[in-house]
């Protein structure tokens, strides 16, 4: 039965589990842990256990074990757990383990679902959902239920600021829309907790900002499980999504494969009004436009996670994420009326824009992690991304009083990202730890655009609006972290240093943009618990936001002859200083005061040229942006099955910048309020409900005033088929108050925009899981931080 090699010093252990009637028991959880020190005790002195489950005949086995002393435990629902100590000196078959029924447990079986719990630290909020009803939905539904997170069409925010999403401390490699598709199709039954990190430690890249970190449960037992899911969404148009996930683990490998397919048509309607001024500053013409946008797409998304256990303490992991969009059709219909200052009609034009895109995005990580007997660990990671994007565009403009125009553009973008990093973690004591690491990244992007004017049926190259752009970025970073807890104090200190070299070159314009800078990024958190009902804390972090590769691209994309989207190769990075002081008291209450200073905030703003009557959406650096305010938070369990989280924030945003000899200084107070309800119903807690509201008051953003909005969502889930199936029903924008209304009013700029986004919908979904459905998983989506700055061509 055994093969033995004297030189290997690795042995095999087999055994069998039966009940009191000597009948074999299958799917019994078996854990084995090796002793760290001698002598040993049952409850302490062991390494992290390895796990498996018994087969149909009750047998189990462990291979590649080092000689030594081990503790084996066998547990199964309705039976008393049994533990044994063995000395392993050779291949061994242990005596049969007999599990005895737990009579107390079998007399009355009560199923109690845990409630989500909230843990607060100075730099983060942790929302624990393991073994709660929330794990029966999708990952996106979990984020919608997490305090402080707001999910709206195409964005995931912490309050009103965009959040960076990580899974198991690795940034997700997709754009916002792609990320939402992925999270919507991914089941949540593997999630342990969600961390809302407002002050990420120095181990995170300096451009992380606020972070959402999804922590996945660890898989200890072997076996196979899988799931299939389908969703139907009805908005203005129907949308479809199908997904499947498969997990397999034995003593040597852990494999996770996910695939999803999405077919959708998204509608967007706009009403735009622009006041163009004459040289005296009076209104010359008023342009009123009705714009209808439809986006039809088909997307394939695949994710692979593979772990190979080289030894008990060393793991080699391969992670790959692929996104393929073979069909993307983008249609814009524009109808513009031009009136004089007295609203008397002058002329009209229509413009039709049809674009077809295809996109391929593949990212792969290779990770090697080893642990040492001291408790320290060393991790090496290498990453490669290839991203290809192509767009063919055709624009036809029918002008009432001027000659018609027609043109085509062909745009391409190819990006390659390489990163390598090493991280070392050392637990100094039970109450303190030290981390350090280095990282090197290289990003290369090649882009080009060709405009072809259609003149008398012939295509003529427009050299003035054709261009090419090569971008090369190198970043070298190093960091240290230190944390310590003692008595009633907690402190965390970190320092990150990054050297950045950027070279952007346009061969057609013979224009070069070079950036070379070295920056320090400190962060600190401290807290003191005066009592169980009162604590104070404070934190500080400096971070950076680098321009996206596409924003640096000097290309001009024409929505029509009078509306363009332009890059800005002169963009500089944004530096952010974030201060917070707060208190937790009476268990349920939190009050915070914060101050954020942005030096050179990057915003895409509409800029109207009153001479040419052209509106250009252009990213710029604002000279200064300040955001400060006060947050009040409250969470409580009303009953065992009903939790309420409430938060309100009163804040002021101030933006300052200059345009040539003119300067602008705008500021505004606003309010953000949210309330989330989580409920579980029925005796077996198989019915769950989540209802959320978020009020986003009239606020200032990118030199524009955005009117009040109310973001609402209701989701209901019901487990069926012995909890192997799940039916979900959700509604978004219940009160039809989520659309945006924007106003531009400063200097010689005057415009109004009403945006009706396709964010009011109902969704019906079903998921079925099969195999050993009691397994947990260590599913991960890994990524390189630089991928987040990939943007689609406009």
CA distances from 388 to 284, 357, 652, 686 (A): 44, 11, 41, 45
**Nearest-angstrom CA–CA distance, 146 and 192:** 13
Could you tell me if 62 and 251 are in contact, meaning their C-beta atoms sit under 8 angstroms apart?
A: yes
DSSP letter, residue 138: B
**Nearest-angstrom CA–CA distance, 8 and 642:** 56
The mean pLDDT of 460-488, rounded to a whole number, is: 90
Express each pLDDT in 697-711 by its tens digit.
999 989 999 999 998
Instruction: Give the CA-trace dihedral at 113, 115, 121, 126, to 10 degrees.
Output: 70
Confidence band of 745 (pLDDT split at 50, 70, 90)? very high
**From the centroid of its chain, how far is CA 370?**
27
Confidence band of 222 (pLDDT split at 50, 70, 90)? low
pLDDT above 70 coverage of the chain, percent = 86
What pLDDT sits at residue 2? 38
**Region of poorest pLDDT, from 21-35, 211-225, 700-714:** 211-225
Q: Residue 755: name the closest of 272, 296, 338 by CA.
A: 272
Residue 107, pLDDT above cutoff 80:
no
**Nearest-angstrom CA–CA distance, 729 and 718:** 9
What pLDDT sits at residue 185? 58
Confidence band of 43 (pLDDT split at 50, 70, 90)? very low
What pLDDT sits at residue 190? 66
The mean pLDDT of 225-229, rounded to a whole number, is: 86
**Region of poorest pLDDT, from 66-80, 615-629, 692-706:** 66-80
Residue 561, pLDDT above cutoff 90:
no
Residue 478, pLDDT above cutoff 90:
yes
Q: Which is higher by pLDDT, 181 or 5? A: 181
Cβ-based neighbours of 109, under 8 Å, separated by 6 or more = none
Rg (CA), the chain: 29
Average pLDDT score over the chain: 83
Confidence band of 44 (pLDDT split at 50, 70, 90)? very low
Specify the pTM: 0.78
Express each pLDDT in 746-780 by its tens digit.
999 999 999 998 888 999 989 888 876 444 444 44
The mean pLDDT of 214-230, rounded to a whole number, is: 74
- Beta partners for 14? 61, 93
The mean pLDDT of 454-472, rounded to a whole number, is: 88
Residue 509, pLDDT above cutoff 60:
yes
Q: Which two tokens stand for residue 193?
A: 């907790």
Q: Which two tokens stand for residue 329?
A: 């059709």
What pLDDT sits at residue 161? 67
Residue 72, pLDDT above cutoff 70:
yes
Per CATH, the number for 223-455+470-789 is 2.40.170.20
CA distances from 332 to 161, 218, 270, 355 (A): 29, 47, 11, 9
Q: Which is higher by pLDDT, 327 or 794? A: 327
**Region of poorest pLDDT, from 135-139, 561-565, 730-734:** 135-139
What pLDDT sits at residue 125? 76
Q: Which is higher by pLDDT, 190 or 403? A: 403
**Region of poorest pLDDT, from 262-276, 379-393, 673-687:** 673-687
- Beta partners for 514? 503
In total, the chain counts a number of residues equal to 794
Confidence band of 793 (pLDDT split at 50, 70, 90)? very low
**Nearest-angstrom CA–CA distance, 206 and 459:** 47
Residue 45, pLDDT above cutoff 70:
no
Superfamily name and number for 11-107:
Carboxypeptidase-like, regulatory domain (2.60.40.1120)
The mean pLDDT of 341-368, rounded to a whole number, is: 91
**Nearest-angstrom CA–CA distance, 788 and 383:** 14
**Nearest-angstrom CA–CA distance, 7 and 100:** 40
Domain boundaries, the chain: 11-107, 223-455+470-789
Residue 353, pLDDT above cutoff 60:
yes
Number of neighbouring beta carbons within 10 Å of residue 443: 22
Residue 5, pLDDT above cutoff 70:
no
What pLDDT sits at residue 586? 87
Burial of 311 (0-12, 13-18, 19+ CB in 10 A): exposed
Please identify which residue in the block is written with the tokens 């949308």.
239
Confidence band of 184 (pLDDT split at 50, 70, 90)? low
């Amino acid at each position: 039965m055994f093969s033995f090699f004297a030189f290997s010093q690795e042995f095999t252990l087999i055994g069998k589990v039966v009940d009191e009637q000597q009948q074999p028991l299958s799917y019994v959880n078996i854990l084995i842990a090796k002793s760290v020190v001698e002598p040993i005790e049952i409850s302490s002195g062991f390494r992290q256990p390895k796990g498996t489950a018994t087969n149909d005949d009750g047998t189990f086995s462990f291979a590649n074990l080092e000689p030594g002393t081990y503790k084996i435990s066998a547990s199964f629902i309705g039976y008393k757990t049994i533990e044994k100590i063995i000395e392993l000196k050779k291949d061994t078959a242990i005596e049969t383990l007999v599990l005895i029924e737990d009579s107390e447990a079998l007399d009355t079986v009560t199923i109690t679902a845990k409630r989500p719990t909230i843990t607060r630290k100075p730099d983060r909020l942790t929302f624990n959902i393991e073994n709660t009803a929330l794990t029966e939905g999708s990952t996106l539904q979990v984020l919608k239920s997490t305090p402080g997170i707001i999910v709206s069409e195409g964005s995931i925010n912490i309050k009103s600021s965009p959040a960076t999403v990580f899974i198991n401390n690795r940034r997700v490699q997709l754009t916002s829309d792609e990320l939402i598709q992925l999270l919507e199709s991914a089941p949540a039954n593997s999630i342990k907790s969600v961390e809302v990190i407002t002050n990420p430690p120095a181990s995170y890249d300096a451009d992380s900002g606020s972070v959402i970190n999804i922590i996945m449960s660890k898989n200890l037992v072997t076996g196979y499980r899988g799931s299939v899911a389908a969703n139907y969404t009805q908005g203005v148009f129907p949308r479809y999504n199908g997904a499947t996930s498969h997990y397999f683990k034995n003593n040597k490998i852990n494999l996770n494969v996910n695939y999803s397919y999405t077919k959708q048509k998204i509608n967007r309607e706009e009403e735009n009004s622009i006041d163009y001024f004459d040289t005296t500053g009076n209104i010359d013409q008023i342009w009123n436009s009705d714009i209808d946008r439809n986006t039809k797409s088909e997307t394939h998304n695949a994710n692979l996670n593979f772990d190979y256990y080289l030894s008990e303490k060393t793991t080699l992991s391969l992670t790959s994420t692929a996104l393929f969009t073979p069909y993307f059709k983008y249609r814009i219909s524009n109808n513009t009326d031009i009136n004089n200052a007295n609203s008397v009609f002058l002329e009209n034009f229509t413009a039709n824009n049809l674009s077809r895109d295809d996109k391929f995005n593949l990212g792969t990580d290779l990770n090697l992690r080893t642990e040492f007997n001291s408790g320290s660990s060393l991790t090496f990671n290498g990453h490669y991304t290839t991203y290809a994007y192509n767009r063919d565009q055709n624009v036809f403009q029918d002008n009432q009083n001027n000659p018609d125009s027609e043109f085509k553009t062909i745009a391409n973008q190819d990006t390659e990202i390489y990163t390598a990093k090493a991280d070392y973690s050392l637990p100094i004591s039970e109450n303190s730890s030290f981390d350090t690491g280095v990282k090197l990244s290289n990003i290369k992007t090649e882009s080009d655009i060709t405009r072809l004017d259609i003149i008398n049926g012939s295509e003529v190259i427009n050299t003035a609006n054709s261009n090419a752009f090569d971008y090369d970025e190198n970043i070298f970073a190093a960091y240290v972290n230190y944390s310590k807890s003692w008595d009633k104090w907690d402190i965390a200190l970190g320092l990150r240093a990054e050297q950045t070299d950027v070279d952007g070159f346009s061969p057609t314009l013979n224009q070069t943009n070079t950036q070379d800078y070295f920056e320090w990024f400190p962060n600190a958190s401290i807290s003191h618990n005066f009592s169980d009902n009162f604590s104070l804390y404070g934190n500080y972090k400096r971070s950076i936001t680098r321009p996206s590769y596409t924003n640096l691209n000097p290309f001009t994309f024409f929505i029509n002859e009078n509306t363009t989207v332009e890059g800005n190769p002169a963009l500089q990075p944004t530096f952010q200083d974030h201060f917070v002081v707060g208190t937790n008291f009476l268990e349920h209450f939190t009050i915070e005061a914060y101050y954020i200073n942005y030096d050179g905030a990057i915003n895409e703003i509409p800029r109207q040229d009153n001479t040419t009557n052209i509106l250009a959406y252009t990213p710029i650096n604002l000279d200064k942006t300040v955001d400060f305010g006060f947050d009040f938070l409250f969470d409580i369990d009303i009953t065992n099955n009903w939790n309420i989280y409430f938060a309100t924030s009163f804040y002021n945003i101030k933006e300052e910048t200059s345009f040539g000899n003119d300067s602008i200084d705008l500021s505004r107070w606003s309010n953000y309020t949210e309330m989330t309800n989580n409920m579980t119903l029925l005796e077996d807690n198989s019915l769950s409900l989540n209802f959320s509201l978020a009020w986003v008051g009239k606020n200032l953003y990118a030199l524009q005033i955005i009117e009040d909005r109310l973001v609402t969502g209701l989701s209901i889930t019901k487990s069926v088929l012995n909890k192997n199936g799940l039916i979900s029903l959700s509604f978004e924008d219940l009160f039809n108050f989520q659309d945006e209304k924007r106003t531009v009013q400063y200097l010689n700029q005057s415009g109004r925009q009403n945006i009706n986004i396709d964010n009011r919908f109902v969704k019906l979904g079903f998921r079925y899981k099969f195999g050993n459905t009691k397994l947990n998983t260590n599913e991960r989506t890994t990524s390189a931080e630089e991928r987040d700055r990939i943007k689609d061509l406009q």
